[in-house]
Amino acid sequence: MSDTMIAVGIDLAVQASKTGVCVLRKDSDGKTYAYFDSRRNDEDLAALIYKAWEAKPRVPVAIDVPLGWSPKFRDFLQDPSSEESKALLQHHRKDYRYIDLRLRQADQDLHGHLHEVLPKPTNWGANKVPSPLSASTDKLGAATMRWFAIRAAMKDTNAADHVLETYPAAARYVWEWPDRKHLGDDVEALIRDDVSWDPSRRQQDPYKATEHERDALVASLVARLDVGERRGFPGKEFPSGEGCIWIPEKKSKPPCD
C-alpha cells in the first residue's frame, strides 16, 4: 500500500526505550493512520526529522522537549558572581523559587495561560492542571541535551529549525482529554487500526501504544494544525535560544482526517 507521511510527533526522553515516535500517514484512499516507529536512537531521529524537512511539501514535526534554556540561566552559569546574577538572586531571595532561572519565559507564560486563562474542563476531575517542567533544574534538562545531540547528527541543521516544540499534556487539556490513556474517539481510531502496529510485532498481539507513543501521537496532531489553530508561548518576541512552545487554540479540533 502506498502512503504519504503527513506529520511527525516525538516524545523525547533521555533513554531511547522511553522515547515515543509517531508518524501520521495518509494512504491511497485518503485515510489517515498512526504509525509508531521503534527506531528511536539519535541517528534515527535525526534522519526522520531531516526526511520530513526535505520532503516536498515539507512535513511538519513537533517534539515534546524544551529546545533550549533561558538566557538568564545561561548567563548565570557563565558568571554567577556578576552584578546581573546577584540582582537576580536577590530578587528571588524571599521565596527561593528562582523562577527566572528555572523556567523560560515560554514556560512561565504557558503556565499562566493554563492556570489563569483557560477554564478547567468539566471532565478533568481531580487531575492536576498541567505545568511545564524546568529544563534547568529538573531531569528534563538531560532530554534537552539529547535534543542538541540529535540536532548535531542531522545532515543539515537547518532541518532542526523546522521543528516545533509542543507540550502534549497542555494539548490534551485544551482538547479536554483527561489523560494519555483516554484520548478522543477519533484519535483512538488512529491507534486501533492494525496498520498502526510496529512491523516487528505484526505476528504478535495487536500493538498497544505506550504512554510515550500516545504523547508522540498528540504531538503529531499539534504539528498538523494550521497556523491559526495553534498558539505559541511566549506570545511576544521570545528571548533568543530558549524556544517557543506551541499548543492548540481552544477553538481548534484535532486534525484526525
pLDDT at 9 over 90: yes
Q: What is the pTM of this model?
A: 0.87
Number of helices (H) and strands (E) in the chain: give both, helices first. 9, 7
| Residue labelled with grid coordinates 526505550 | 17
pLDDT of res. 163: 96
What is the pairing mode between strands 3-11 and 20-27? antiparallel
CA 158 to chain centre: 19
Higher pLDDT, 255 or 80: 255
Percent of the chain topping pLDDT 70: 86
Say if residues 103 and 134 touch (Cβ distance below 8 Å). yes
pLDDT tens by residue, 37-91: 888 999 999 999 999 999 999 999 999 999 988 877 777 767 777 777 677 667 6
Measured CA to CA, the distance from residue 104 to residue 67 in angstroms comes to: 11
CA dist 123 and 103 (Å) reads 29
Q: Which domains does the chain have, with CATH numbers?
A: 3-66+141-248 (3.30.420)
Give residue-wise pLDDT tens across range 160-199: 999 999 999 999 999 988 777 778 777 877 775 544 545 5
Confidence of residue 203 (pLDDT cuts 50, 70, 90): very low
* 94, pLDDT greater than 80: no
Residue 247 pLDDT more than 80? yes
Note the pLDDT of residue 252: 84
Percent of the chain with pLDDT over 90: 43
200 or 79: whose pLDDT is higher? 79
What pLDDT is recorded for position 193? Answer: 55
Average pLDDT over every residue of 110-116? 91
- What's the Cα-to-Cα distance from 205 to each of 24, 28, 188, 192, 198, rounded to whole Å? 22, 26, 17, 12, 11
